[in-house]
Amino acid sequence: LREEALLVRDAAGKPLEVIGCWTDISERKQMEEALLRSQRLATIGEAAAMVGHDLRNPLQAIITGVYLGRKGYESLPPEYAKVAEEYGLVKWLSLVEGEIEYMDKIVSDLQDYAVPLKPDLSQVNIAQLLKDVLSKTQIPSNVNVSVHVEEGLQLMIDRSLMKRIFSNLITNAVQAMPEGGELTVDASKSDEEALVSFHDTGVGIPQEDFSRLFNPFFTTKAKGQGLGLAVCKRLVEAHGGEITVKSKLGEGATFTIRLPHRKS
Amino acid sequence: LEKKRILIIDDDKAVLGNFKDILELEGYSVDTAETGKEAIEKSNANFYNLALVDIRLPDMEGTQLLTSMRETVPKMVKIIVTGYPSLENAKEAVNKGADGYVVKPILNIEEFLNTVKEHLKKQKEAQRYSEQKVAEYIETRAKEQETKEE
């Protein structure tokens, strides 16, 4: 509440009355806070883009350096190769190669979060896109994946952006099931909208985290930047759609993408 | 067999050095340039089959360099390397004369080497085709001349 008071005096300056006014400014306060929040997120976005881009060159130098290291190892005479292996050289090379992929994902997430988005829409076969993403995602043997896509489902989407959304949601689902479980992907469309949902039987999400789940840099993972879902939200919204979550602690989670149904 | 010649243009010394080593391991003869100006000078003075052009250079945009090299060395294959992947970027690069477009960091080096190899193969085929056309043209003209003289 905003309080204002006005003291009214007579001609001699003697106080006559006080006029008070109380205004409800909750809406204005909320708008100011929202503006501040969006300005803060825009600054974070710019910093993220800069960091993402600046990491590309050193990352490229590491990738090419490791490649040359492996080539060097492969060209060693057998007796030297054996010694190199005994000293752990091959193990270290593989370790760095694995970490490079992870670093590349961080760099891509930072840039996806920050760059202005202009989806390049085309008709994409959803079953095929899911197949491509699943083939490139490491699924542990204790996780069963079932995919149910409406026959011949094609959507007007940006193929590479949607690929990143699917990839992030599938990776999250797998990571939510450290003891194994079921990942079910459903995709269908009606006259108004298309729905793609990812349901896992993992650890679930506590209610108190729901409001922050799609915020950048919010994470509950020990190893994560908290950009995956923020990126998903941004990319889905760039398609004019929305992403929602339903979950109960210990009972898994379902992330649903709603996209407007564009005919062409 | 004569080695294919490649020019790498990038302002990051580590990236430049490593790509030079990788391409040399594949049997290419590699030269490097750290600025657009150096790239223009080198491509005017020497013949290169292919150039890898970073999109951001200290003295000019890679696309500006593409325009300039399209005029001076039109037959050289130009592959743009960018850390700013976007559709606009790709369109601009192709419109300004890029033959290929790769995104930095290049994770799969083998795939990248195959791209380079494919471009050089296409260049060789195009060259062979134009030589054949020239030979056919000369042959036809010679025959026409012979017929006239008879």
Residue B28 above 70 pLDDT?
Answer: yes
Confidence band, pLDDT 50/70/90 cuts, at residue B135: confident
Six token digits for residue A78: 């057998």
Residue A213 above 70 pLDDT?
Answer: yes
Computed over every residue of chain A, the mean pLDDT equals 87
Are the Cβ atoms of A58 and B86 closer than 8 angstroms?
Answer: no
Mind telling me how many Å the CA of B67 is from chain A's nearest CA? 24
Report pLDDT digits (tens) over A107-159. 877 777 666 677 888 999 999 999 999 988 888 999 999 999 999 899 999 98
Are the Cβ atoms of B106 and A61 closer than 8 angstroms?
Answer: no
Asked if B46 reaches chain A (Cβ–Cβ under 8 Å), the answer is no
Lowest mean pLDDT among A37-41, B100-104, B123-127: A37-41
Identify the pLDDT of residue B75. 86
Mind telling me how many Å the CA of A106 is from chain B's nearest CA? 12
Residue B15 above 60 pLDDT?
Answer: yes
Asked if A58 reaches chain B (Cβ–Cβ under 8 Å), the answer is yes
For range B30-38, the mean pLDDT: 95
Minimum-distance CB partner of B21 among A68, A111, A115: A68
Identify the pLDDT of residue B106. 92
A254, A246 in Cβ contact below 8 A?
yes
Contact list in A for residue B12 (CB cut-off 8 A) is 57, 60-61
Confidence band, pLDDT 50/70/90 cuts, at residue A264: low
Confidence band, pLDDT 50/70/90 cuts, at residue A227: confident
Rounded distance, CA A110 to CA A233, Å?
A: 14
For range B37-52, the mean pLDDT: 94
Identify the pLDDT of residue A194. 93
Minimum-distance CB partner of A60 among B86, B87, B104: B104
Rounded distance, CA B37 to CA B50, Å?
A: 17
- Residue from B11, B23, B86, B91 to probe the interface with A (highest A Cβ count within 10 Å): B86
For range B120-128, the mean pLDDT: 87
C-alpha dist (Å) from residue A96 to A62, A210, A225:
9, 35, 19
Rounded distance, CA A166 to CA A185, Å?
A: 10
Six token digits for residue A94: 């593989």
For range B64-86, the mean pLDDT: 85
How far, in whole angstroms, is CA A188 from its chain's centroid? Answer: 22
For range B48-63, the mean pLDDT: 90
Confidence band, pLDDT 50/70/90 cuts, at residue B96: confident
Mind telling me how many Å the CA of A59 is from chain B's nearest CA? 7
Residue A263 above 70 pLDDT?
Answer: no
- Residue from B13, B82, B88, B104 to probe the interface with A (highest A Cβ count within 10 Å): B104
Are the Cβ atoms of A104 and B83 closer than 8 angstroms?
Answer: no
Are the Cβ atoms of B83 and A56 closer than 8 angstroms?
Answer: yes
Are the Cβ atoms of A57 and B86 closer than 8 angstroms?
Answer: no
- Residue from B10, B11, B13, B18 to probe the interface with A (highest A Cβ count within 10 Å): B18
Minimum-distance CB partner of B15 among A53, A57, A101: A57
Are the Cβ atoms of A100 and B21 closer than 8 angstroms?
Answer: no
C-alpha dist (Å) from residue B30 to A64, B22, B50, B101:
16, 10, 10, 19
Q: How many Cβ pairs closer than 8 A exist between chain A and B?
A: 55
Q: Whose CA is closest to A107, among A195, A227, A9, A23?
A: A227
